[in-house]
Amino acid sequence: MKKLIALLLFMTLVFPVAAMAEKPVLMMATTTSTDNTGLLDVLKPAFESDTGIDLRWTAVGTGKALAMGKNCDVDVLLVHAPASEKKFVEEGYGTDRTQLMYNDFVIVGPVADPAKVKGMSVSDALKTIAGSATPFCSRGDNSGTHKKELSLWKASGMPVPEKDAWYIQTGQGMLPTINMASEKNAYTMTDRGTFIKYAASHNGNPPMVVLVEGDGVLFNQYSAMAVNTKNCPQAKYDLAMKFIDWMAAPGTQKLIGDFKLMGKQLFTPNAGK
């Protein structure tokens, strides 16, 4: 029995160490949208064969990703909240912020469109929803998407709803939030990638549809940043820069543009533009 326990202990201690390759490891914090859509699963093997670097990521909300960068737990960030990113760089936590690609946000709602917002501009749509007190689901989790939504309420000249009964703060990821909106017959704002994925899971005939899109304010920019070695001396800056340069290279940009889900392009590359 003692031998068995000793053996188990030994194996569990040694196994993960033995499994670690000699390849250099680049640790990244990124947002759920890049992971959930499967984009990173396509990019990882290409990056590894081009540079020999083992890319590992943890997919969290932008708020948590930035906190991990601040605490020196990762080497590079791939996030989508430009205002917070700029602040992050100004405060000396990140460097070399490089824009890589974008997708756009859309406002989705039930097929019946109870508040009749189809085709409106973002600010008109939000005013109509608030005015008629039609349920609206918000992420409420300080993620990039949530921050974007808050900025849209402000840009529409309204106080950000908080305790209003029709304003539902889910505190969950994007897909659970869309599902909740669907159950509650509510509107919500989502990135297009996640919505395509949601529509795909309903065989292209979802109970929620895109109602507001194409407005310039719905632009969703993704950028990469290296963690600042002044703040984190152990951060692998050279590996992080290799990743950022590789992401911005024409070959990778094409790979991003060609990435499709249900025949639809999810991200538009725009490095250097």
Partner 1 sequence: MGFIFEGFSTALQLLLDGHPETWSAVAATVCVSSLSICVTVLLGAPLGFLLGYCRFPGRRAMRLCVDTLLSFPTVVIGLMVYGFISRSGPLGGFGLLFTLQGIALGQVLLGMPIVIAMVANAVENADDRLQMTLLTLGASGRQQLHATLWEVRYHLMLASVAAYGRIVSEVGISMMVGGNIKWHTRTITTAIALETGKGEFAMGVALGLVLLLIAFGVNIAVSGLKRRAAR
Binding residues (CB under 8 A) for partner 1: these are: 5, 8-9, 11-13, 15-16, 27, 32, 36, 41, 56-59, 70-73, 172-173, 175-176, 179, 197-198, 201, 232, 234
The three-class DSSP label of residue 78 is strand
Q: Which tokens go with 256?
A: 């991003």
Question: Residue 69: which of 24, 25, 26, 29 has the closest Cα?
Answer: 29
Which H/E stretch holds residue 110? strand 94-110
Residue 212 CB, nearest distance to partner 1 (Å)?
Answer: 22
Which CB atom, from 179 or from 223, has the smaller least distance to partner 1? 179
Residue 10 CB, nearest distance to partner 1 (Å)?
Answer: 10
Residue 71 CB, nearest distance to partner 1 (Å)?
Answer: 5
Residue 24 CB, nearest distance to partner 1 (Å)?
Answer: 14
Which CB atom, from 73 or from 96, has the smaller least distance to partner 1? 73
Which CB atom, from 32 or from 223, has the smaller least distance to partner 1? 32
Which CB atom, from 56 or from 118, has the smaller least distance to partner 1? 56
Rounded-to-integer distance, Cα 47 and Cα 56, Å: 11
Which CB atom, from 59 or from 120, has the smaller least distance to partner 1? 59
The interaxial angle of helices 82-90 and 144-155, nearest 10 deg, is: 110
Asked if residue 223 lies in contact with residue 66, where contact means CB atoms within 8 angstroms, the answer is: no
| Backbone φ, ψ for residue 53 (5° rounding) | -100, 135
Residue 121 CB, nearest distance to partner 1 (Å)?
Answer: 29
- Name the β-bridge partners of 265: 260
Which CB atom, from 62 or from 253, has the smaller least distance to partner 1? 62
Residue 114 CB, nearest distance to partner 1 (Å)?
Answer: 23
Q: What share of the chain is helix, strand, coil (3-state, %, to 5)?
A: 45, 25, 30
